[in-house]
Structure 1
Amino acid sequence: MSDKKVTITQVRSMIGCTKKQKATIKALGLRRPNNKVEKPDNPCTRGQIRVVQHLVKVEEQ
Protein backbone atom coordinates (compact mmCIF):
# COMPACT_ATOMS: atom_id res chain seq x y z
CA MET A 1 0.00 0.00 0.00
CA SER A 2 1.37 3.39 -0.92
CA ASP A 3 1.85 6.28 1.45
CA LYS A 4 0.91 8.84 -1.17
CA LYS A 5 -1.53 11.54 -0.19
CA VAL A 6 -3.52 14.09 -2.15
CA THR A 7 -4.63 17.46 -0.87
CA ILE A 8 -8.09 18.36 -2.14
CA THR A 9 -9.22 21.98 -2.06
CA GLN A 10 -12.78 23.00 -2.84
CA VAL A 11 -12.56 26.01 -5.15
CA ARG A 12 -16.20 26.44 -6.19
CA SER A 13 -19.52 26.50 -4.38
CA MET A 14 -21.97 23.60 -4.51
CA ILE A 15 -24.86 25.86 -5.51
CA GLY A 16 -26.52 24.37 -8.58
CA CYS A 17 -24.82 20.97 -8.23
CA THR A 18 -26.60 17.66 -8.41
CA LYS A 19 -27.37 15.63 -5.29
CA LYS A 20 -24.69 13.12 -6.25
CA GLN A 21 -22.05 15.84 -6.47
CA LYS A 22 -23.11 17.34 -3.13
CA ALA A 23 -22.95 13.92 -1.49
CA THR A 24 -19.48 13.33 -2.94
CA ILE A 25 -18.18 16.66 -1.64
CA LYS A 26 -19.56 15.80 1.79
CA ALA A 27 -18.00 12.31 1.64
CA LEU A 28 -14.63 13.87 0.86
CA GLY A 29 -14.97 15.95 4.03
CA LEU A 30 -15.28 19.32 2.34
CA ARG A 31 -17.77 21.91 3.56
CA ARG A 32 -17.18 25.24 1.86
CA PRO A 33 -14.96 26.86 -0.78
CA ASN A 34 -11.27 27.12 0.17
CA ASN A 35 -11.64 24.19 2.58
CA LYS A 36 -8.81 21.61 2.34
CA VAL A 37 -8.59 17.94 3.23
CA GLU A 38 -5.83 15.37 2.88
CA LYS A 39 -6.82 11.93 1.64
CA PRO A 40 -4.91 8.79 0.63
CA ASP A 41 -4.21 8.49 -3.08
CA ASN A 42 -6.17 5.39 -4.08
CA PRO A 43 -8.69 4.47 -6.78
CA CYS A 44 -11.65 5.18 -4.50
CA THR A 45 -10.52 8.74 -3.78
CA ARG A 46 -9.63 9.30 -7.44
CA GLY A 47 -13.14 8.24 -8.44
CA GLN A 48 -14.68 10.72 -6.02
CA ILE A 49 -12.43 13.47 -7.34
CA ARG A 50 -13.49 12.67 -10.91
CA VAL A 51 -17.16 13.20 -10.00
CA VAL A 52 -16.49 16.72 -8.70
CA GLN A 53 -13.42 17.67 -10.73
CA HIS A 54 -14.97 21.00 -11.74
CA LEU A 55 -15.38 22.00 -8.07
CA VAL A 56 -12.00 21.01 -6.63
CA LYS A 57 -8.26 21.44 -7.08
CA VAL A 58 -5.99 18.47 -6.39
CA GLU A 59 -2.36 18.64 -5.28
CA GLU A 60 -0.31 15.46 -5.09
CA GLN A 61 2.28 15.02 -2.36
Structure 2
Amino acid sequence: MATIKITQIGSPIRRKADQRATLIGLGLNKMHKTSELEDSPEVRGMIRKVSHMLSVEK
Protein backbone atom coordinates (compact mmCIF):
# COMPACT_ATOMS: atom_id res chain seq x y z
CA MET A 1 0.00 0.00 0.00
CA ALA A 2 1.12 3.57 -0.65
CA THR A 3 2.51 5.70 2.15
CA ILE A 4 2.39 9.40 3.00
CA LYS A 5 5.26 11.26 4.65
CA ILE A 6 4.10 14.07 6.93
CA THR A 7 6.17 16.61 8.86
CA GLN A 8 4.91 18.87 11.63
CA ILE A 9 5.71 22.50 10.82
CA GLY A 10 3.28 24.26 13.16
CA SER A 11 3.12 24.42 16.94
CA PRO A 12 0.12 22.97 18.82
CA ILE A 13 0.38 25.73 21.44
CA ARG A 14 -2.95 27.61 21.79
CA ARG A 15 -4.73 25.07 19.56
CA LYS A 16 -7.87 23.15 20.46
CA ALA A 17 -7.46 19.89 22.37
CA ASP A 18 -8.86 17.84 19.48
CA GLN A 19 -6.19 19.23 17.12
CA ARG A 20 -3.45 18.32 19.60
CA ALA A 21 -4.93 14.83 19.92
CA THR A 22 -5.01 14.48 16.13
CA LEU A 23 -1.29 15.32 15.90
CA ILE A 24 -0.53 12.67 18.53
CA GLY A 25 -2.70 10.20 16.60
CA LEU A 26 -0.58 10.89 13.53
CA GLY A 27 2.58 10.17 15.53
CA LEU A 28 3.65 13.81 15.77
CA ASN A 29 4.23 15.74 18.98
CA LYS A 30 7.27 17.95 18.35
CA MET A 31 8.17 20.51 15.73
CA HIS A 32 9.88 19.16 12.57
CA LYS A 33 9.17 15.53 13.50
CA THR A 34 8.36 13.30 10.52
CA SER A 35 6.03 10.33 10.36
CA GLU A 36 5.33 7.91 7.51
CA LEU A 37 1.82 6.45 7.45
CA GLU A 38 -0.31 4.34 5.13
CA ASP A 39 -2.43 6.29 2.66
CA SER A 40 -5.97 5.56 3.89
CA PRO A 41 -9.17 7.61 4.10
CA GLU A 42 -8.86 7.75 7.91
CA VAL A 43 -5.33 9.17 7.77
CA ARG A 44 -6.34 11.62 5.01
CA GLY A 45 -9.15 12.93 7.23
CA MET A 46 -6.77 13.44 10.15
CA ILE A 47 -4.32 15.25 7.87
CA ARG A 48 -7.11 17.49 6.54
CA LYS A 49 -8.08 18.45 10.10
CA VAL A 50 -4.60 19.77 10.99
CA SER A 51 -3.31 20.56 7.49
CA HIS A 52 -2.34 24.10 8.57
CA MET A 53 0.33 22.55 10.86
CA LEU A 54 1.67 19.89 8.45
CA SER A 55 3.78 19.47 5.36
CA VAL A 56 2.69 16.46 3.29
CA GLU A 57 4.75 14.48 0.76
CA LYS A 58 3.79 11.34 -1.14
* TM-score relative to the length of structure 2: 0.96
1:8 partner SS: strand
Post-superposition shift, 1:48?
0.2
**RMSD value, Cα:** 0.5
Post-superposition shift, 1:57?
0.6
Structure 2 residue ranges without an equivalent (≥5): none
Q: Choose the corresponding residue for 2:49, options 39, 46, 51.
A: 51
Cα distance in 2, alignment partners of residues 35 and 55 from structure 1:
12
Structure with the greater alpha carbon radius of gyration? 1
For residue 21 of structure 2, what is the aligned residue in structure 1? Answer: 23
Please state which structure has a larger fraction of its residues in helix.
2
Post-superposition shift, 1:16?
1.1
Aligned residues: 58
Structure 1 residue ranges without an equivalent (≥5): none
Q: What is the percent sequence identity of the aligned residues?
A: 38
* TM-score relative to the length of structure 1: 0.92
